[in-house]
């Protein structure tokens, strides 16, 4: 009841030295008799090794971290679902950090690496500032970044081709005959916001369509913000016939607003999201969405981290995940009433 048993307790009980106890528990060659006595003493006392002591000695925590902005976002959830089993299988616990869109929080997490409570970290930063880069360079544990970082940054990196993703979606809408394709983005000073904004601006001219800034509206990456942004856009450009939303949450907001406005989806306005989260198949009509390979990115990041942990000095690696368009009713209308 009081304090947990230690190897010293066991040693006394078994009448051997703590060294012998340690050897038995670590499976080193030991005389059969000693082994038996130690094992039974350990069992009787309900011995469990103390992780702090073990970590201090071994210089390993057997913990790995995952840091993202917001657990509520299903994109991160998709990543965690892949990461957690891989970590567990490799004998690591998962420490979760939700940084709440707070840049200082992200930096804190990076600084925390120095405490050595985790042996490595996967981070999905919303922004990559100079301070981030400094911390990456100074980090005393391996880091994998999901999202693009500048060439030469000394971290493993998993990216996705936003350009191609947006091109797929815009191309799809264009092929369906849509010509007034609005774009609802999140904050453009975030990694995904900036990438998707640039990609949209490129994709239209490539199809011979003009880039019209008044077809672009910026809110935040959430459903209600998205809805508000779509409402503004609709008021300004009532003749638009398609909407590309920078993520699925925004697209859900778009469906809400369009429904309330009496516009049919997709007959009047075709809607496409990005990220292809679980929500896409729950929405009605089911949401066409560009999969940015969230699950694959999570898995790739975990694999990179685990690989580096037993292969410390290889060069930083970059893995790029291919986006993929998943067509559903919100653009083709096959199931719409």
Which residues contribute to the site for its own copies (CB under 8 A)?
Answer: 4, 46, 48-53, 55-56, 61, 63, 71-72, 77, 80-81, 84-85, 88, 93-98, 100, 111-112, 114-117, 138, 140, 252, 279, 282-284, 337
Phi, psi of 117, rounded to the nearest 5 degrees? -85, -15
Vertex 147, ends 131 and 202: CA angle to 5°? Answer: 110
Nearer to its own copies, 54 or 236 (CB): 54
Q: Considering the complex, what minimum distance in angstroms separates the CB of residue 33 from DNA? A: 6
The CA-atom distances, in angstroms, between 145 and each of 95, 153, 242, 305, 316 are: 16, 10, 33, 10, 11
CA distance 121 to 214: 41
Nearer to its own copies, 15 or 114 (CB): 114
Q: For residue 170, give both structure tokens.
A: 């815009």
Phi, psi of 122, rounded to the nearest 5 degrees? -105, 125
Residue 20, contacted partner among its own copies, DNA, none, CB below 5-8 A by kind: DNA
How is the chain split among helix, strand and coil, in percent rounded to 5? Answer: 45, 15, 35
Q: Considering the complex, what minimum distance in angstroms separates the CB of residue 38 from its own copies? A: 17
Q: Considering the complex, what minimum distance in angstroms separates the CB of residue 60 from DNA? A: 10
137 in contact with DNA (CB under 7 A): no
Phi-psi map region of 103: left, alpha, beta (phi>0 left; psi -120 to 50 alpha)? alpha
Nearer to its own copies, 85 or 238 (CB): 85
| Footprint of DNA on 43-102 (CB under 7 A) | 47-50, 53-54, 56-59
Give me the residue label for tokens 């009532």: 238
Q: Considering the complex, what minimum distance in angstroms separates the CB of residue 299 from DNA? A: 31
Q: Considering the complex, what minimum distance in angstroms separates the CB of residue 119 from DNA? A: 15
| Contact residues for DNA, defined by CB under 7 A | 3-4, 6-8, 16-20, 22-23, 25-26, 29-31, 33-34, 47-50, 53-54, 56-59
């Amino acid at each position: 009841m009081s304090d947990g048993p230690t190897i010293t307790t066991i040693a006394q009980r078994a009448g051997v030295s703590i060294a012998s106890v340690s050897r038995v528990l670590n499976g080193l060659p030991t005389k059969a008799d000693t082994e038996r006595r130690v094992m039974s003493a350990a069992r009787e006392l309900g011995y469990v090794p103390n992780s702090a002591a073990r970590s201090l000695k071994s210089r390993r925590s057997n913990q790995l971290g995952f840091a993202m902005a917001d657990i509520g976002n299903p994109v991160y959830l998709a990543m965690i679902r892949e990461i957690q089993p891989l970590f567990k299988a490799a004998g690591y616990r998962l420490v979760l950090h939700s940084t709440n869109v707070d840049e200082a929080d992200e930096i804190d997490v990076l600084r925390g690496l120095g405490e050595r409570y985790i042996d490595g970290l996967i981070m999905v930063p919303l922004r990559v500032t100079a301070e981030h880069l400094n911390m990456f360079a100074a980090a005393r544990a391996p880091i994998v970044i999901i999202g693009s970082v500048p060439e030469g940054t000394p971290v493993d990196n998993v990216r996705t081709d936003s350009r191609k993703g947006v091109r797929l979606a815009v191309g799809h809408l264009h092929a369906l005959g849509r010509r007034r394709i609005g774009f609802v983005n999140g904050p453009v000073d975030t990694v995904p916001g900036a990438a998707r904004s640039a990609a949209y601006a490129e994709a239209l001219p490539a199809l011979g369509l003009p880039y019209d800034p008044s077809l672009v509206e910026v809110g935040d990456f959430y459903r209600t913000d998205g809805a508000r942004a779509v409402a503004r856009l609709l008021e300004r450009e009532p003749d638009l016939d398609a909407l590309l939303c920078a993520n699925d949450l925004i697209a859900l907001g778009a469906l809400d607003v369009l429904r309330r406005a009496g516009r049919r989806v997709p007959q009047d306005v075709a809607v496409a999201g990005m990220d292809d989260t679980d929500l896409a198949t729950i929405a009605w009509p089911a949401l066409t969405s560009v999969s940015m390979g969230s699950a694959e990115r999570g898995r790739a990041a975990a694999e990179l981290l685990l690989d580096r942990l037993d292969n410390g000095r290889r060069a930083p690696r970059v893995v790029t995940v291919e986006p993929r368009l998943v067509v559903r009713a919100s653009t083709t209308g096959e199931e719409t009433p």
